[in-house]
Structure 1
Amino acid sequence: MVSMLQAYADQPDPRSVAVVGNQPLEPDERRAKTIDSCDLVFRVNGFVCDEPDTQPAVGTRTHVVVFNRALRATKWVFEDYPSRLYLLVEPGRLHWEPENIPQWWPSDLGFLPVSNREVTLPLSEALGLSTRTDGTWATTGTMAAWIARTAFPDADLVLSGFSFIDNPHQTSWQHAAGDSCIVGPEHQIAAEGRLLESWSRTGKTTLLR
């Protein structure tokens, strides 16, 4: 998977990587420019990007889309899709999730399944989750951040749009696209927030709120 990520980055060994979650964020030109200046930009599930007639908030560039089978696609998800890498995370396949592709998925668009053995389970171990035996695992956003951090450990990592870092006890969340949903019982977002926040103390990860 690392070689695939390198192929879609601005340069084979990205010096800066951004992962943008789906928290609604106020306009911030500096944040948007910082995200767009990265060599590799990850976005998650039904994400949004800045529009020409709006104030900058989260930038416009996307190299990698990390999604799950419950994706609620926005108009930005498949924009310019031949130039992006699509990574399907499927931790539920360890338990009950069926192997099916939504009927609305573009017939000419492939995707790369993310290995549960190489990604999901090591992340769950870091979070203290018993994913092998219980139906509990990380959110797609945290999985995207973990992929970015472990694939390019020497790169500067920018994280933005992760509401559970500051609000770890929320039971529902609003998405930047305008919809909302409950926090699934399979997620332990307080543990995820602690993990991501701890990275910011290493000097290689920046949190942009």
Structure 2
Amino acid sequence: MLKDLLNMLVDAITKNEDSNIGKLFTIVDEQLTDIDNTLNTMEEWIQVDKAQGKALDDIGEDLNQYRGKATDEIYRVMIRGKIARSISDGTINSMIDALAKTLNCDPTEIKIVNSIEAGEGEPNAIVVKKAPLKALNKIGLSANQFVQFVEQVIPGDASVARVNLEGTFSFSSNPTQPEYSQSEGFSDMNQTTGGYLGAAFEGGKDVQLPI
């Protein structure tokens, strides 16, 4: 922008950044750049995935979804969940779709079945056979808090019978021979491969989210 400002000067004036007028324009350029960055930040922070702090609070309050003690990352999930719950009609597919939008993950990372279908025989209950552990770990969402979101998308007369939080990590099936896998063993140096651990419930130790 500084060069553009200097080029606007008539040819009778020295168009050099080290000249007096150049130094003056440098100050103006810094101020204009700062204003431009602020405006860009304001535009970005209208978006749930980029807003932070008070700007994120304002988005949540417009939807009657309050933060409580949640971090920005978890609060974004709560806001997305508030929006996504409105599309859930109680069917398995709509529940999966709502959770995927809430956690910003692929629907294939979630599998929900009826408890009867899972062979557990509990009426009006669902079983989460596959949970998006990578997404939960990235967000910092605990197992209990994840169940809170699941309970929000199921029909009012239904319940969550069980949630499977098994990871993919495993050791070699042969104690004397190594086995190689892109998705089950130890990670490489770049941590782009390898399995991940599961999770466990710790009832009563989590902060309850206001959802």
**Bigger helix fraction:** 2
TM-score (norm. length: structure 2) = 0.26
Q: Which protein, 1 or 2, shows the higher relative CO under an 8 Å CA cutoff with sep ≥ 6?
A: 1
**Bigger strand fraction:** 1
TM-score (norm. length: structure 1) = 0.26
Larger Rg: 2
